[in-house]
Amino acid sequence: MSNEKNDLWVGLFVLLGAIAIVFLALRAANLSSLSFTATYPVMAKFDNIGGLKIRAPVKSAGVVVGRVSDIRLDSKSFQAVVTIQMEKPFTFPSDSSAKILTSGLLGEQYIGLVAGNDDDKPLTAGSTIRMTQSAIVLESLISQFLYSSAEKQGTQSTPKP
């Protein structure tokens, strides 16, 4: 009887471990929020996408309204072209803007979408979001701060003739 009870507990523990591993794998692959709603593609060009990845969320007012489906480099303008799969229930005006934001200080990057004012023309399949703001790269901000600090130190220590 004792052996059967131990086997049951070990089996339950192994099952919970397997479920936890599957859950973590789905979270790591950003597949835990699969959606089967109809979508339409919208493009946006950015000078720098930072660490933006495919399947990154697209949010408006904190609500996920789409996902990044493709990232490529335009060989003529040397800008990153991001394809966004917007969910059909969400329609945005054609003068909406997109910017790459970060969840927290070191969290994942996502696209923030701000609705424009042009109610006559909505974004449709194949539209391009014209107003974009690139990602703020933490390393470049730190290097700019250090460079400006060193520059100030250099000008303060030089004696004036």
- Domain carrying residue 14: 1-32
Count of structural domains, the chain: 2
Same domain, 108 and 69: yes
* 151 domain residue, yes or no: no
Q: What is the amino acid identity at position 161?
A: P
Read off the tokens for 20.
Answer: 């936890």
* 148 domain residue, yes or no: no
The pLDDT of residue 14: 94
Q: In angstroms, rounded to a whole number, what is the distance separating the alpha carbons of residues 142 and 160?
A: 30
The pLDDT of residue 30: 60
Same domain, 54 and 93: yes
* 160 domain residue, yes or no: no
The pLDDT of residue 102: 87
* 154 domain residue, yes or no: no
SS3 2: helix
* 72 domain residue, yes or no: yes
The pLDDT of residue 96: 92
Name every residue whose Cβ is closer than 8 Å to that of residue 71 and which is 6 or more positions away in sequence: 49, 52, 53, 54, 80, 81, 82, 83
The model's pTM is 0.68
Same domain, 17 and 68: no
Q: What is the amino acid identity at position 78?
A: F
Same domain, 61 and 18: no
Residues forming a β-bridge with 97: 114, 131
* 23 domain residue, yes or no: yes
Same domain, 25 and 73: no
Q: What is the pLDDT along the chain (161 residues), one digit of tens a residue?
A: 678 888 899 999 999 999 999 888 877 766 655 667 788 999 999 999 988 999 999 999 999 999 999 999 999 999 999 999 999 888 899 899 999 998 877 778 999 999 988 777 888 888 899 999 888 777 777 888 888 877 777 666 555 55
Same domain, 15 and 86: no
Same domain, 18 and 51: no
The beta strand positions in 1-152, using DSSP E, are 39-46, 57-60, 63-73, 80-87, 97-102, 109-114, 127-129, 131-133
Same domain, 57 and 123: yes
* 48 domain residue, yes or no: yes
* 7 domain residue, yes or no: yes
Same domain, 48 and 103: yes
Same domain, 116 and 60: yes
